[in-house]
Amino acid sequence: MIATSPTDFEIHLFHEGSLYKSYELFGAHVIEENGVTGTRFCVWAPHAREVRLVGSFNDWNGVNFDLIKVSEQGVWTIFIPENLEGHLYKYEIITRHGDVFLKADPYAFYSELRPNTASIVYNLRGYKWNDQAWQRKKRRKRIYDQPLFIYEIHLGSWKKKEDGRFYTYQELADELIPYVLEQGFTHIELLPLVEHPFDRSWGYQGTGYYSATSRYGTPHDLMMFIDRCHQQGIGVILDWVPGHFCKDAHGLYMFDGEPTYEYANMQDRENSVWGTANFDLGKPEVRSFLISNALFWMEYFHVDGFRVDAVANMLYWPNSDALHKNPYAVEFLQKLNETVFAYDPAILMIAEDSTDWPRVTAPTYEGGLGFNYKWNMGWMNDMLTYMETAPEHRQHVHHKVTFSLLYTYSENFILPFSHDEVVHGKRSLLNKMPGTYEEKFAQLRLLYGYLLTHPGKKLLFMGGEFGQFDEWKDLEQLDWMLFDFDMHRKMNAYVKELLKFYKRHKPLYELDHSPKGFEWIDVHNAEQSIFSFIRKGAQADDILIVVCNFTNKVYHDYKVGVPLLATYKEAINSDAELFGGTGCINKKPMMAIEEPFHGKPYHVRMTIPPFGISILRPMRKRGERNSDGKEKVRRYAVGRRAR
């Protein structure tokens, strides 16, 4: 229920930085006051001399529509005795120097389609959610020991209509959701959906943080899209940018003629890399605004998590040659995470942090920032550097593959191949691979296999699932015509098989964040660029053997040490002809030989495919799967186990 006017307590909490549902106070709300239905507007403009309301209901003339200042720190409000739902509006700000600006409402729930910039009075209530089963499941399961493979999407360029128009939220629900289900991803991550003026900012330079972009439909349409994702078992993560905002005249920048949402000091305020302004994270009202915004998306849109963009840009003061820590950012991020986890303990808070800041995913009561996941940018950069190296020279950068295991358990990591790696001339993942046409596909399959088997959760940007050859063209749709080509269809078949295999095998996710879940078999074979390791589940004998060959050489009768005396079957081989490979696979089961090798008590002899990954699992008797397809405790074909 929206109160008829701001209370002293609400105003106190807002100026204290702890009004975490400030969207119930600020913005435009249709309410009843003294028996009269009307619309209340409330805005924060601490430096303004006057504030007036203009809109389609008063011919954009603010005379006699003056807001009343109800706090010395600049909270202004007005009640119009009329239901103004659907009307356009802005605030006419008169600065202390007499200048006049027209500003969109920072707390608007809906906005005009660009290039128009007015806010729209919109009632967010009334959508009937049908995702109760999803919410119960989410609360019941710990994501840390569950599969998490994210499909990162830019809704404006996933698919487009023939005339270049965007798909609507309704159309995306009809097409995107079945596609994600078919591929096998567990979650989708949407590039920012806050209102933004420039398409090519991809939503990272926002003006309306409470306004779901009108490019694809109304806020209720977006609720429907997320609801349908949940009904199909797909989680929804929102890319979110609490660090900086765009400087368009109608937005947050110099809102009342002076720094309001941004730092007062120009050196701290200006973000020269992106041409934006940095939020003043030490200002209590800005903390109320931003932390409320996270709760807003959780409450009204049921989002399952946030990928928090550019954390490094917040943690360190900008425009400095040295890394000077920003204590305001640390306090803000800790309070943000404490607040959202109190609201929903199952939320995903994912830091996109490129630095080595310690304890990003540690709880705040242990001195951490309080996120529960962090993108592993180091792993991503090292692996792409390694893959772009000519195969004959990879032996000289062997450490690029091995280094990640020295720190992989220092945080809860997500391994990202995101949009940032396939744009601005960086080339697509497929086209980063050296060699011939066929070798590019082989190495990308190998890279995806290594992504799948390396500890940590996973993320892949759209188009990667079928081997898009060109880098991301953000003004066009994905190159769907590539499905007409055999190698791309086979690449997609491989990715779908990987995802199915991933979700069925607990060793690939159950101990992602524990050193007990991984063990090297052979980490030193730089000369041949072959790596072998074990992934383990919570049960001692629940294992997978992984062998990766990063050269185009084939090896027959290759010895690999194994820990269990069992018969092993090749479960996945990226070189299978079905996936576009040359067919160097291990058709027959491999019985472990009682002879130590690679420091293990037994070994198998196998064929190592060129530019390939092979995953072996101990064979089990029939009927040993749960109803969900996940493996039960195995019984081995050969009687004894290693002690």
Residue pLDDT, tens place only, 350-395? 999 999 999 999 999 999 999 999 999 999 999 999 999 999 999 9
Residue 511 scores a pLDDT above 50 = yes
d(CA 221, CA 441): 38
Place 629 in a pLDDT band, splitting at 50, 70 and 90.
Answer: low
Using a pLDDT cut of 70, give the percent of the chain over it.
96
Which domains can be identified in the chain, with CATH numbers? 8-120 (2.60.40.10), 155-508 (3.20.20.80), 515-618 (2.60.40.1180)
Interhelix angle 284-301/8-16, nearest 10 degrees: 110
- Can you tell me the mean pLDDT for 62-91? 97
Task: Decide if 521 contacts 534 (C-beta within 8 A).
Answer: yes
Place 25 in a pLDDT band, splitting at 50, 70 and 90.
Answer: very high
pLDDT of residue 630: 54
CB atoms within 10 A of CB 164: 9
pLDDT of residue 1: 37
d(CA 176, CA 285): 38
Q: Which among 221, 270, 280, 352 is annotated as catalytic?
A: 352
d(CA 187, CA 229): 9
Query: Cα-flanking dihedrals φ and ψ of residue 320, to 5°?
Result: -135, 140
Residue 555 scores a pLDDT above 80 = yes
- Can you tell me the mean pLDDT for 570-595? 97
d(CA 387, CA 426): 14
Residue 189 appears among annotated catalytic residues: no
Token pair, residue 445, equals 């399959």
Q: Which among 92, 309, 510, 570 is annotated as catalytic?
A: 309
Q: What is the reported pTM?
A: 0.94
Least Cα distance to 374 among 389, 361, 385, 355 occurs for 361
Residue 643 scores a pLDDT above 80 = no
Q: Tell me which H or E stretch contains 240.
A: strand 235-240
Residue appearing with tokens 């900012």: 201
Tens digit of each residue's pLDDT (9 = 90 or more) over 107-136: 999 999 999 999 999 999 999 999 999 999
Query: Cα-flanking dihedrals φ and ψ of residue 2, to 5°?
Result: -85, 125
Residue 16 appears among annotated catalytic residues: no
Mean model confidence pLDDT for the chain: 95
Residue appearing with tokens 């188009």: 463
pLDDT of residue 641: 33
Tens digit of each residue's pLDDT (9 = 90 or more) over 247-265: 999 999 999 999 999 999 9
d(CA 212, CA 303): 12
Residue 184 scores a pLDDT above 80 = yes
